[in-house]
Amino acid sequence: MAAPILRCARAGRCWSLGSRPRRTRALFAEPVPGRVREQSSAALQEPRPGAHEWAAVVGLEIHAQISSNSKLFSGSQVSFLAPPNSSVSFFDASLPGTLPAGYQITQQRLPIAVNGCLTYSLSVGAHWSPSATKTVRIKQIQLEQDSGKSLHDDTRSQTLIDLNRAGVGLMEVVMEPDMSCGAEAATAVRELQLILRALGTSQANMAEGQLRVDANVSVHHPGEPLGVRTEVKNLNSIRFLAKAIDYEIQRQIEELRNGGKILNETRAFDEKLGCTVSMRDKEGKQDYRFMPEPNLPPLILYDAESLPTAADPQQVVNIDWIRERLPELPSVTRGRLVEQYGILPEHSFALLNEDGLLEFFQTVMKETRAEPKKVIGWILSTFLGYLKQRNLAVSESPISPSSLAELLSLVDSKVISLPAAKQVFEELWQNQGKTTGQIIQEKKLELLQNQEELEEICQAVLAEHPQEVMAVKKGNQKVVNKLIGMVRRATEGRADPIRIKQILEKQLQ
C-alpha cells in the first residue's frame, strides 16, 4: 500500500504562495512535487464600498496524545478519568533525588518527520465534493511530553496543579499557514483525526483532551505583507475551532478598519460568549532555552536502501517495512465504499465523518436484502436525523443495526410499506425491547397480500365515486392518484400503491 499523504484545503479566489517541497523521509508525511499553495477569502466578510478586500492566513499546531498505556519516560499509567495526581511518578513530578528533568522533553529541533502535506475535501453547499480537494503543507511532526494542568479556583483565589498529564506522550503536527478560514481548518483537523485513528496512532478524542489545537491567525490585504498574527490556544472541539478562527479573523478586520493595531498575543476562545479573549502578549522574543537531553540516545530512521546489513532488526526503525503494513486510510476507505456499494462520494464522506456510522452501515448491509442506496438513504436521513435531534452518538442509538436491517428487509420484500416502516422506526426508537415483528403485529401494519380482497376494496371505492371514474374515462389521469389515496385510506395504509394502481387501471378499463 502506498504511504498516506497528508494534505489541506481552500476554495475561491486565490494566489500562489508556495514553493516546491523538499524530499522527506516520514512515516505518513510525503511531499507533493510541484504543488503550489492556494489562498482564498471566501469565508471573510465582503468589504465595504471603497474598502480593500481582506484575506486571512491560518496555521495550526495540533497536539495528539499517542496511544500508550504509560507515559514516555515513566511507568505511570495514562487514564483520562483518574483522580488528580494519582498517576504521577517521582520522575514525573521532578522530585529531588530522582535525577529530575524539570523541563519538557521535545523533538522540536530534530523532528521525526518534515515537509509533508495533508489532503482533504471541502463541502460544496450541503455536499462533500472530492473535486474540491485542498492541500496544507506540514512543516514537521515531533514527539514530545505533555505538561501538567493548572486548575484555577477563582472563588478561593488559588491555582491547583494536576500532574496526571505530565510526561504523557504527544505528537505535535505543525501545519503551515496555508488555510484561510475556520471551515478549512476544521476539515483539515477532522481528516487528520481520521488518519490517526485508522493508523492506531492516537484515539484523538477531543472531548478527553487527546487532540488539542492551537491556531495562528492573521489578516492582510492581498498583495501586501502578511499581518501580525495572534495565537488562539487549546481549542478542544472541531466546532469551536472553526468558530474561534472565524471570530478572530473578523475581530482583526474590524480592529484594523477602525484604525487599531493587532497585537502579537496569545488568546483563548470563550465557548459561552463565542469570542476570543486576550491571555498574554508575545511581543518580546521568546527564549525557550532548548538544550540537548544527554540521557536520550539518537533515534535513527532507515529505509530499505539505507538499512545497515549487520543491523539488529529490533534496534532499527525501517520506514519501508512500516509503510507496507499500513492499514486502509480514510481516502482509500471512501473510494472503496463508492466502488463496493455504488453510493455517491459525498455519502462516503458522511459515513466516515460521524464516529461509528461506517461500522453501523456495514453491519446493516451484512444483514439486509435491501439495496445499498436505500440503506444509505435511511441511515443518513432518518437514522442520523434522529441522532442529531436528540444530540446522541451512534453508540447511544436505541436502534441496533440488526433491527434496522430487519426493517429494511421487510420493506424490500413488500411485507410493509415505506410509511409503515417509518412508523415502525419511530416505535423502535421509543420502545426499547420490542422487536420489529412485534410492532408490526400490534399495529397491524402488514401489507395486504390477498389479491381478491384488495380487488374488492378497489371496486368498492370506484362504485362510491362515480364522478372520479367518469373524469378518468374522459382522460384526466391525475384523478387516478386521488383514487389510489382513497384505497390506501380504506386499507389503513396497508396496501402497496403500485399494486393498487395496477388493479384500478385494470378495473377502469
Query: Helix, strand or coil for residue 323?
Result: helix
* pTM (2 d.p.): 0.79
Q: What is the 3-state secondary structure (H, E, C) of 326-353?
A: CCCCHHHHHHHHHHHHCCCHHHHHHHHH
196: confidence class by pLDDT, cuts 50, 70, 90: very high
- What's the CATH code, domain 451-508? 1.10.10.410
Q: Return the residue matching grid coordinates 501545519.
A: 175
Q: Which of 129, 111, 135, 105 is nearest to 34 (CA)?
A: 135
Q: Is residue 387 over pLDDT 70?
A: yes
Residues of the chain with pLDDT > 90: what percent? Answer: 53
Interacting residues of 112 by C-beta distance below 8 A, sequence separation 6+: 26, 27, 141, 142, 143, 299, 301
Domain limits, CATH 1.10.10.410, in the chain: 451-508
How far is 35 from 296, CA to CA, in rounded Å? 37
Three-class DSSP category at 181: coil
pLDDT digits 0-9 by tens, 30-59? 333 333 333 333 334 444 443 469 999 999
C-alpha dihedral, 277 to 11 to 333 to 59, nearest 10°: -30
pLDDT surpasses 50 at 129 = yes
- Cβ neighbour number for residue 13 with a 10 Å cutoff: 13
The answer to whether 262 and 252 are in contact (CB under 8 A) is yes
Averaged pLDDT, 275-289:
79
Cell of 262: 493587532
Which of the 8 DSSP states describes residue 396?
A: G
